[in-house]
Structure 1
């Protein structure tokens, strides 16, 4: 420790930059000067998980390079303090944050309370979180909106949620107006929604479920992907309860409908039609559109690797 105390700050920062998060936290507790030094060094974490549990506890885990660095349940106040410490340096980042809650029927407001405490203790911090996933449990519309607003819009690019809580037009309009929504690239909503599809067409990729969808809205999705430049592997998929009218969808095509299956199709004939569209902005990529009775899936693929590229997306 004597050797460490004599090191110039610039060398200490180099050492801290190579420490894992757990070691940083230990060093942070040594003294106020070490605390300030650690806070001055950004950290990038692969995965963080927050999970409210019965007994006024929150499970908090951190994973880095496949190694579990933190794995414990504590009282909410301590967990929130530790979580917010990650962002003490404004350049620190979490690549993937998962919020789980398996006992949401017994604790219906647990995630709302967690979000409220995070935001009130965060002193208007902008959280540099790349991907946010609500895997289990429920969150209300205002809590989701507030949490999204707390994200750093230059970092935040992906949201996955089981049940989308926003039902009213006023809250939806407020969400859509945020910079975080405008810069969002990926969205997945598991349970069925009734939100107009145009709300999502700025996204690079999305997966949604509806009770039904008309052929005109299906065509809007296809057109958007054909004529607006997107990265390779961008895709959309839509699942419905009420069967699509395949003939109605094909009637909107501005090219001749040609069923061109790629790779082995499903044995149960789930795919009714496969159309391969040219793209207005690339000669090296194509848009592959598969249409089933209750699902659609379209993807940007390399023209010489259509099956391989599309198959990767089916495994997501």
Structure 2
């Protein structure tokens, strides 16, 4: 009697390298490290496989130590370790200098910037791609830090899509920022403290969040017109939110009001409910999307929305 003997399935060692790389891309960080120790061939394959890091967070302690938290893009346990204040920058440079490692978001405090800039200069590292950089104050609510020359020096080494900056911004430093290629190529900005900027400097951005002392009616109209006439946009990432210290006139900014969407997008408990206006606009370069704007006495917010999902798209804008 003859039996069909099944052929042996391919074993790991016999797989072509490009198949191995596709498998390694899906492995959590710890599993990659274990595979790397199996053989010299596996070590070389792991070392040439791209790894994506979702977030690197640096938090200073009072004992000149820095807590470092690394969150891989794939579901996995976060990686925690500590470094001496002056050794932290060298650890970051080792990550940034590795071409297979891609970092989406870097969160750090202003006090760490000078040392990091020095290390980047020593390593001659430039054009480091980071989707988003988030600069925080050492103390919550401290407005003394902000956009200074050291931050501009750091930014000169990076290619960023979005920047979030805490603290005040002096006019002279803001003028330097808007002249940089990094600013002109950016897609989103959030200044988390009250400043006073001219809206014209932000019109190239697709996502915008600002706290301003005041916003004129003319600037509000220019901002709305700019967003509804954008040629490049996505409903998940095209929006603005401007909060102001000086009160605005919602009925002048939005002479029309869609009462149906006002009920959906305005909480009855919001201050001066009767004055709040909601209006939608047709996008100049899309037949499928609309731009919805909400105006209150102290906030102007707009978001690109799908007509059937206006509530979700407006309320879920990442920075609104």
Pairwise TM-score range, normalised by the shorter structure: 0.7 to 0.9
* Map of 1:245 onto structure 2: 249
RMSD over aligned CA atoms reads 3.3
Would the alpha carbon gap of residues 91 and 184 (structure 1) be closer, same or farther in structure 2, given more than 3 Å must change?
A: farther
Superposition pairs of residues 154-303 of structure 1, within 5 angstroms: 156-168=160-172, 171-229=173-231, 230-233=233-236, 234-250=238-254, 257-262=256-261, 263=264, 265-270=266-271, 272-303=276-307
Cα deviation digits, residues 9-38 of structure 1 (max 9, x gap): 9589848656655676799999x9999876
Is the CA contact 1:92–1:128 (under 8 Å) kept in the aligned structure 2?
Answer: no
Would the alpha carbon gap of residues 98 and 266 (structure 1) be closer, same or farther in structure 2, given more than 3 Å must change?
A: same
Bigger Cα Rg: 2
Gaps of 5+ in 1: 1-5, 101-108, 251-255
Cα deviation digits, residues 219-252 of structure 1 (max 9, x gap): 01000011112221311010011110234324xx
Q: Is 1:151–2:158 an aligned residue pair?
A: yes
Distance 2:90 2:36 in 1: 14
Superposition pairs of residues 91-130 of structure 1, within 5 angstroms: 91-100=100-109, 110-130=111-131
Greater CA drift, 235-244 or 50-59 = 50-59
Gaps of 5+ in 2: 1-12, 139-144
* Map of 2:60 onto structure 1: 52
Cα deviation digits, residues 162-196 of structure 1 (max 9, x gap): 2243431xx43332232221221111111111111
* Map of 1:106 onto structure 2: none
Would the alpha carbon gap of residues 71 and 216 (structure 1) be closer, same or farther in structure 2, given more than 3 Å must change?
A: same
Distance 1:18 1:306 in 2: 35
Q: TM-score, normalised by structure 1?
A: 0.79
Superposition pairs of residues 1-150 of structure 1, within 5 angstroms: 14=21, 20-21=28-29, 40-64=48-72, 65-100=74-109, 110-137=111-138, 138-150=145-157
* Map of 2:10 onto structure 1: none
Is the CA contact 1:206–1:236 (under 8 Å) kept in the aligned structure 2?
Answer: yes
* Map of 2:313 onto structure 1: 309
Greater CA drift, 287-296 or 70-79 = 70-79
Distance 2:170 2:148 in 1: 5
Is the CA contact 1:235–1:300 (under 8 Å) kept in the aligned structure 2?
Answer: yes
